[in-house]
Amino acid sequence: MTFLDLLAEKKTTVYSLSIKSGIPRSTLTDIASGKADILECSGKTLLAISKSLNVSIEDLLSLEREEAKSLLPGFLLDSINDYRKAIRKDSTLIDCYSDQLNSSINVAEVENLISKEQANRLRLRYFGR
């Protein structure tokens, strides 16, 4: 699970978390994009995020780093974002978004747009397999 996945699960956004935690939105955006590593955040920042999201600091430190956007094809990024939005909004169509994401991962792998390892990492992250 990545930071953005956690935000989706908690049904919040970077902007909302910034307001609730008092952490600058730019800092949270850097963490969410993978530009900054959550492992390098100060204790104060980790504590504010963990309290605001009601998760342990250990859970935050175990988050995976976001895939670099340049490493994934646009259609796959779109599917990931759609899936996260569906989770955040408790969409009744979550199964459809899940199928779309799985299909996008498969297409990207078959077309050699991502490696088998990347595809397996994404499947494990989003589907536990």
Predicted confidence at residue 86, as pLDDT, reads: 94
Residue type, 38: I
- DSSP string of 6-55, one letter each residue: HHHHTT--HHHHHHHH---HHHHHHHHHTSS-GGGS-HHHHHHHHHHHT-
Predicted confidence at residue 66, as pLDDT, reads: 78
The model's pTM: 0.75
Q: Using 50 as the pLDDT threshold, list the residues of the chain that sit under it.
A: none
Phi first, then psi: give them for residue 2, nearest 5 degrees.
-100, 175
Model confidence pLDDT, tens digit, residues 18-46: 999 999 999 999 999 888 889 999 999 99
Predicted confidence at residue 20, as pLDDT, reads: 96
| Beta bridge partner(s), residue 29 | none
